[in-house]
Structure formats: structure tokens, C-alpha cells
Chains A and B, each alone.
Chain A
């Protein structure tokens, strides 16, 4: 914690310390409550400043005060804390607080307690100090009405006891049903023991016993840390959409029942079968839409934050967005959303130069930030680009050296830019352009990679800087123009196809079955195609093509029409392109 906060800490801690002294002399229950409040606040502040020993001492005092507020030791330790605060204030140096010496008072230590081990004939295997460590798994009893809340409670209690590594044991995040505790190394064991003076293993077991938890230790060495630290994604969806989906599933069930009761192959059977196919297709589409979100929320948030930052920085910035209607997995939108304001701010504050600098560099005085998205098959690429000066890679290299990050001498620019995504590489404490540029990018990288995507930064020094986030799309919804060609029909990605009277330039591709006389010429401004018939179908759920169909040139995937027939969706490509 920087010195910036020391003055404020000392001033406030000293006031609270005075409150504590008044409370001790007042005595009684009101005095104790006042003391606990003051002590608790100073403890939190001290912990935040990194004065671990001081914080632990105050925690110990709280225990003492709850047990017996008349204990004279309380006043003695509180006086020692006051002296340390005074020393720090006099010297404007936190050494007396950082190195605050204390020892648990005899009167506070629980008597060595042999009764804490559970009355179990086969105790869990114990890990003695000196071993590398062991995991313990605690599970609430089946009768526990709110296991998740109980686990949170346990976690806090174990933190209080000094355990560092405590994780929900499974991959359920907030809905975890048990907890893993790692009993680590001798250093930690000593630290814990000094606080409580009872064996660490017994602590876990007695804790479990008191808490009514089932406890089980890792049978052979540490169990691997589960990836359960990331809460399972929770999606927000419009309830009406879910209701509509359920309504259709209900109808589906009804028709299936009818289907079972009519003669196979009869007219009624055919009618019901078509209805079932149509409902099933719609239900799949609806489920797909629930799973996806457009990029509009991210772009809105970005624009708002960027404009705010521009205003407060007095910079002229133009925001351009493109591709907001592209849909990606809803959870990635929700994970990125809280991180977006930061990226926006970075682009404005550390990307776009001041107006005068821009003019001097011969640039448009108004900077441009562009947030765009394009869909490429089963991936969506988001690009956040600014036309600022970019990052000084020489300084990136220097920074890497000071952090002892190995960078090859011949590292290319984009390799150096990758450093911006390294956790801890950029810190706000340095608050310069270089550092600020990367703040928060580690979190972005983590969010994107956890969704199976990838990130990269690139730039042209003096011209632009951009970050690309490439996201896989679990399923894709596309607007389709379905065209007929003789007896066949297939989809074209709707890139704005319109019927036209005639086209300029190249002649339209003529599909089989669309005779010279009949048919319609469609154009999206780039491609022209003559078809037998056509119609627009919005929100079509696209499926991946499996080999060998995925090698069909220009085919993006397939979709099912209302009758459940698969149709290939094409994205027209210029001749000769891959």
C-alpha cells in the first residue's frame, strides 16, 4: 500500500484509537460494544495497509474483549498499538506498524484441548507440519437447508482461523455443495498455530465437528485444485422468451401424444408429423436465441464510458460502431460487460492523443475509436481500435526486464504487445501511458480465453492501436435469404439482398432453374445472382457442417427449414478466394 494513504490511515486510526481508550475506561456492555466497533474498523484498515501482525493483534483483542472486557490485558495491548501509531505519525514511517510485535496473551489461549478430535475410530489421515500439505473436503449435512450459505459461513470462519486456500470443491461456484481447505506448508502452520495454539489438523477436524460438516481428507497428497473458482455463468434472459419456449414445448408434447394415437402413415399422422417438425424447429431456434446476445450492450457501455472519459479529458473523440447485431454466447457478453468501461477509458486516456499533439502530427484533431464486430463462420471477431499513437514497445521491453519477464531479443512487435495482457504487467500505480494501456487487459484475456477465445493486440506506431477479441460462437443465428434453384433451395447469408432490375458491371450468376425469362435478380451491392424464387427468413439457427460437407466452398453451415429439412447456407465469395 503506497504512502499516499498513510497520512489518512494514521489520522483516522488515531481517532478510533482514542474512541477505544474512552470505551475501555467506560467499561460495561456499552463500552465493550464501542471498543469492538473501533477495534474492528482499525483492524480492517490495518489489514488493508498490509500491517498483518497489527491486524492479527487487534483481532486477538476482539476475542479477548468479547470473552471478558474487564481483562487488563486489553488496555495493555491497546496502549502498545497507540504507541506504534504515535511513532509512525512522528516519523511519517510505517515501520512501527509493519513490524508490530505481539504475542497471544496467556489468558486468551484456549487450554491445550484433546477433546477437539472427532470421536471417530478412523480419523482422517493427518498431515504433519513439514509435509507439503493436504486437502480437506467439508460437506454440509443433508439436512442443511441452505448449504450454499453455510459454505460461505464456513469459508469466512476458516479465513478467520488463518487458512489461506479455501475453495468451493466442485464446479458450481455460488451453488457449491462442499468446500476444500488446503493445509499448506510449515510456515503457515506455524502462523496458524501461534494464533490458536492447537494443532492445525485438529483445527480443521474440530471445526468440521462443530459445524456439523462431514470431513474427508485427500487420500494421497494434495488433490488438484478444481477449476471451480470461476462461478458457473448465470444468464439473464427475458422471462417472456422462456415462457414462449415452454409453451411450444408443451404443444410439441400434445402433438406427440396425438401422433402416437393415430394410424401410422394416415393423413392425420402426416398432419401431426408436420406440426411436430415445425414446432421442434421453432423450439430449437428459440432455445438458441436465449443462449445468445447481440453485442449492443457491450457497444453501448463502451460508447458511454468512452464519451465520458473524452469529456473529462477534454479530448475530441468520435465513436464508430459496427456489427452490433451480431450475436455471441450470452455469458461472454455478461462477463465482458463489467470490463468494457475500463477498455473504453484506456482507449481515450492512453490511446487518443491530445488535440494539439494530433494537429502537430498532421492528424484529424478528432480522434476515432472504432468498436466493430464481424462474424467469420463459427467465430466472431471484435476489434477495438483507436487512431492514437500506439504503445512504445521499447518501454514494454524495459518494463518486462524490470519484472524479470523473459523476452527474446528478437521478439517481434506483436509478441511484445502480448505483454500488455500479462497479469500484473500494468499497474495503475505507475499511471503513465504505457502502464495504463494494459490495465484490465489481463481480466479481458481471462474472460475471453475461458470462453475458448483468444486475444491479440496490434498497432502501427503513430497511426493506430487495436485489440482483437476472437470469440467462438456456440451456435449462430443468422438472417437468411432462401433462394430457389430449380427443385433445390438453399440459404444465402442476408447481406442486404434486394431484387434489382439490372446490374452494373459483372453479369449475375445464373442458378440452374432460373430461366432467362423468369426468375429474379438479387443483388447485395457486391454480388448478383439470378434465382427462381426467394424469401427472407429472419433468425435462423445455423448448425456446423460436419466433414466432408464443411469443405464445400462458401458454405457457412446448415439450417433446418419449417419442415425440418436441412439446407445449406452459403456466404457468396469472390472467385478465386479460399
Chain B
């Protein structure tokens, strides 16, 4: 399974990448904002995406909207620090499949992605 990690913090991308790679997933691209995320999604067509909410230029909600507009089957899991409830609910409304709240346990992230991958 090939994933795209979207987060404006290099640190968070590294943590997430390590979790996925350690568990047999492949990370094919990373993006630091919504614009990069949409571009990377088009280019790599990943099997799943982890998406931060608060990011410069284009935020995670707009990115989810753009990606799901192009690919209704996109498996996107929102990964956000607490305090962004309404935005996450919005993301779930427009097509994100699940969410994880930072700080997360790696099991939570893996479970959310695994769940997103099997959902229709």
C-alpha cells in the first residue's frame, strides 16, 4: 500500500513516515501544504493519504475537497492536533474517511488507515 503524507511540519511527516514504513507501507510522497498535496495526489495516485488540517497556503479541508472532487475513492485520514473539531467534521462530510488526533499512538494511525483502506 502506497501512502502520501501531508503535514506542514517536517517533524510530523518524519514520525508518520517512520510508523508507516516500519509497518510495511510505502510512502511515495510527502507534501507540506494543500497545494502540494493535490499535485502529489494527481502525480502518484496513492492508496491512502494522511492529511493535516492547519497548513499554510491551502489548508487540509480545501485539499480534501479538491482531491475527493477528482477521485471519489480517495482514502484520506485527517491527522490534526486537538482544537480543530469543526474542521474535521467538515472534512468527514466532504469525503475524508477517518481522523486521528495528535498526539496519537501509532496503533491509532495504523488502525485509521487500515480502516480507511477497506471501506468502500
Contacts and interface: CB of A to CB of B under 8 A. Distances in A.
- A and B pair up: yes
Contacts of B52: 44
Contact of A12 (B11, B23, B26, B85): B11
For chain A, the bracket of interface size reads: 35 or more
Contact of B103 (A47, A231, A236): A47
Contacts of A62: 83
Given A48-B12, A157-B85, A338 B102 contact: no
Nearest to A151: B89
Nearest to A308: B26
B11 A9 contact: yes
B92 interface: yes
Given A44-B102, A59-B83, A342-B24, A234 B119 contact: yes
A339 B22 contact: no
Give the secondary structure class of B's interface: mixed
A62 B54 CA distance: 13
B66 to A, nearest CB: 20
A231 B22 contact: no
Given A9-B11, A59-B82, A341-B25, A47 B120 contact: no
Contact of B81 (A43, A152, A234, A335): A43
A55 B54 contact: no
A43 B83 contact: yes
A48 B102 contact: yes
Given A59-B82, A153-B85, A41 B54 contact: yes
A228 to B, nearest CB: 14
Interface in B59-76: none
B44 interface: no
Interface string A458-496: 000000000000000000000000000000000000000
B92 A149 contact: yes
Nearest to A334: B118
Nearest to B25: A341
A440 B22 CA distance: 10
A428 B120 CA distance: 31
B102 A152 contact: no
B42 interface: no
Interface string A298-336: 000000010010000000000000000000000000110
B89 A152 contact: yes
Contacts of B56: 37
B10 A12 contact: yes
5 closest residue pairs by CB, A with B: A47-B103, A44-B81, A341-B24, A338-B114, A156-B85
Given A43-B102, A149-B89, A153-B85, 4 more contacts: A45-B9, A45-B102, A156-B101, A236-B118
20 contacts: A5-B14, A37-B55, A37-B56, A40-B81, A43-B82, A44-B9, A44-B81, A48-B102, A55-B81, A149-B89, A152-B99, A153-B86, A156-B84, A156-B99, A160-B83, A234-B120, A338-B110, A339-B114, A341-B24, A428-B22
